[in-house]
Structure 1
Amino acid sequence: MDTPLQAHIIYALAWLSFGAVHSVLAGGASKHRLEPMLGVYYRLSYNLFATIHIGLVMVLGGAVMSTQPYALEPGVGAGLNGVRVLGVGVLLMALREYDLGRFSGLSQIRAHRRGAPEPGDEPLIIHGMHQFVRHPLYLGAYLIFWGGAGDDFGLATAIWGSLYLWIGARHEERSLLALYGQAYAAYQTQVPAIVPWKRRAPN
């Protein structure tokens, strides 16, 4: 049986492995090597690998860490559940604003099978949830993580998941600036990254 400290270290290393592998695969060098090999299946393969990897991280965390709920006041427990439900709602609303076929890689495969040109990069999204925050998917994930922090496993997941999201957002900002240029730079000045502390930005 792992001690609590050992369990935290094991789970932290699992998150580190996910972050490191994700960063390597998302980098331009890896994409340039893998995309010619996988062709139109690159995006879907990338998403499937990331999903399996984070799933294994969560399974490992649940196995080595305590899932015994904390002795919280009823109001606190209900509040955490409310935060988690809010996070799911934010996540679902944000997903509706993306072209999920292109996001997942399925549109690229369908276009290839029809002999049609592959869809290009998605246009810069500045409507809907993106009028309030630049990264609504991350906002939803933060809320889900911290809404689930009712035991050792949930709290550790919130901590390491939040660190991963913070680092990931910084990398994504650089990628979006490179992709959209001045349009994204102007968007950055109008809309906050994660916390919707400003009034809604105009479309």
Structure 2
Amino acid sequence: MTPLAGHLAYALAWLSFGALHSLLARSFVKDRLRPLFGPWYRLAYNGLSVAHIAAVWAVGWFAFAGAGAFGLPGWARGLLLAVEIAGWGLMAAALAGYDLGRLGGMSQIRHHRRGVAEPEDEPLRTDRLHRFVRHPIYSAGFLILWGRIGNEFELATAIWGSLYLVIGALFEERWLLTHYGAAYADYRRRVPAFVPWKGRAI
């Protein structure tokens, strides 16, 4: 596969992931699928997302199979490793602020088995890392992606993965504005999206 064809195939794979992820997040799609999956909907959604991103990664691995390392000097590799480690640390700190059972889909199943109604959506989060950036998980994703650019495959992953995160954040913010209204509009005016250039903004 030529380099151009490899980049095109990988870009299309990322496009398919973004399109399906966006489609499944639409209210009219969720309203039709939830009766089929019941309390397993969120877990099935996450499982499909993991399988799909694994398929995207496989396309990239095949497309850039012959690409060697960039041959970066030791100081550059060390710097990139530090960026990646910082990204994983930020990811752990960001996830610690969420209800992981609810996010993963297990809380919904437990509530169903106990015959308890599923709790309403969480209130707007403006605490912890959200005082610095609106999307700390995405910020962590950027650091992880760009801390792993040792070859052409990893560079392409950083490019297309970052584009997915930016577009995904735009779609997410549309939902947040609809869901939380003026409260989120005010929060968005005060707090940066990904880079904490204001420091603690609120």
Query: Do Structure 1 and Structure 2 share a fold, with TM-score over 0.5?
Result: yes
CA drift of 1:67 comes to 4.8
The aligned runs of 1:10-29 (5 Å cut-off) are 10-29=9-28
Letter aligned with residue 5 of structure 2:
Q
Which structure 1 residue ranges, 5 or more long, are not aligned?
Answer: none
Letter aligned with residue 48 of structure 1:
G
The aligned residue for residue 180 of structure 2 is 180
Q: How many residues align?
A: 201
The aligned runs of 1:1-203 (5 Å cut-off) are 2-65=1-64, 66-202=66-202
| In structure 2, C-alpha distance between the alignment counterparts of 1:61 and 1:199, rounded to whole Å | 36
Quick check: 180-189 or 147-156, which moved more?
180-189
Secondary structure at the counterpart of residue 153 of structure 1: helix
Letter aligned with residue 38 of structure 2:
G
Letter aligned with residue 24 of structure 1:
L
CA drift of 1:40 comes to 1.0
Q: Following superposition, which runs of at least 4 residues in structure 1 exceed 3 angstroms of deviation? A: none
| In structure 2, C-alpha distance between the alignment counterparts of 1:90 and 1:4, rounded to whole Å | 33
Secondary structure at the counterpart of residue 143 of structure 2: helix
Letter aligned with residue 102 of structure 1:
R
CA drift of 1:36 comes to 1.6
Letter aligned with residue 88 of structure 2:
V
Secondary structure at the counterpart of residue 158 of structure 1: helix
| In structure 2, C-alpha distance between the alignment counterparts of 1:83 and 1:67, rounded to whole Å | 23
Letter aligned with residue 46 of structure 1:
Y
Instruction: Please report the TM-score for the alignment, with normalisation by the length of structure 2.
Output: 0.96
**Percent of residue pairs identical:** 53
CA offsets 1:28-81 (integer angstroms, 9 cap, x no match)? 221111112111111111111011100111122112214521011211111111
CA drift of 1:201 comes to 2.8
Which structure 2 residue ranges, 5 or more long, are not aligned?
Answer: none
Q: Is the 8 A contact 1:99 1:122 kept in 2?
A: no
Instruction: Please report the TM-score for the alignment, with normalisation by the length of structure 1.
Output: 0.95
| In structure 2, C-alpha distance between the alignment counterparts of 1:9 and 1:71, rounded to whole Å | 24
CA drift of 1:122 comes to 1.6
| In structure 1, C-alpha distance between the alignment counterparts of 2:87 and 2:68, rounded to whole Å | 23
| In structure 2, C-alpha distance between the alignment counterparts of 1:61 and 1:54, rounded to whole Å | 11
Letter aligned with residue 120 of structure 2:
G
| In structure 1, C-alpha distance between the alignment counterparts of 2:11 and 2:121, rounded to whole Å | 34
